[in-house]
Amino acid sequence: MFYVLIINTLLVAATVMLHYEFLHRIMRYLPTMKIKHSYRIVFGVFGAITAHICEIWIFAFGYYVMNRVDGWGSITGNYNGGLLDSAYFSFTVYTTAGFGDIEPLGPLRFLTGIESLTGLVLITWTASFLYFEMQRHWKIV
């Protein structure tokens, strides 16, 4: 169980740091772009989506590895154990869309809960960031 806790902590730390780096770089780059601010926001949205996709893949690798190690739990249902199935599962958990066709068992369940919480916080962080960027430069007519 100790190793599961360590893996979960490392996955969350990696995703939070990645998200911070993406948002930090977007924030520094947006003002330097030589286009209208409304188009800069679109760039920011695509950057944020890219960050979220990378974060989902980090968790997907975690599911993929943990599912293959004895004693760390398993994933059942419409799941063949492949990396793409792990990514699909991670997308549904991260976005809190829910899952019904795939079910985690054993200690692996803790990662799904932590990923849902992490996804919720990071998606909210992105929304706040983009709202702040829009408020800074958009003029109300």
- Alpha-carbon gap, residue 81 to 78, rounded angstroms: 9
In a domain, 36, yes or no: no
pLDDT for residue 37? 78
In a domain, 46, yes or no: no
Q: Is the pLDDT of residue 141 over 60?
A: no
Which structural domain range is residue 80 located in? 2-31+53-137
- If one counts the domains in the chain, the total is 1
- Alpha-carbon gap, residue 37 to 27, rounded angstroms: 12
pLDDT for residue 15? 97
In a domain, 62, yes or no: yes
In a domain, 69, yes or no: yes
In a domain, 99, yes or no: yes
pLDDT for residue 135? 84
Kindly provide the residue ranges of all beta strands, DSSP E only, lying in the chain, ordered along the sequence.
74-77, 102-105
In a domain, 48, yes or no: no
Q: Specify the CATH number for the domain of residue 20.
A: 1.10.287.70
Confidence of residue 33 (pLDDT cuts 50, 70, 90): confident
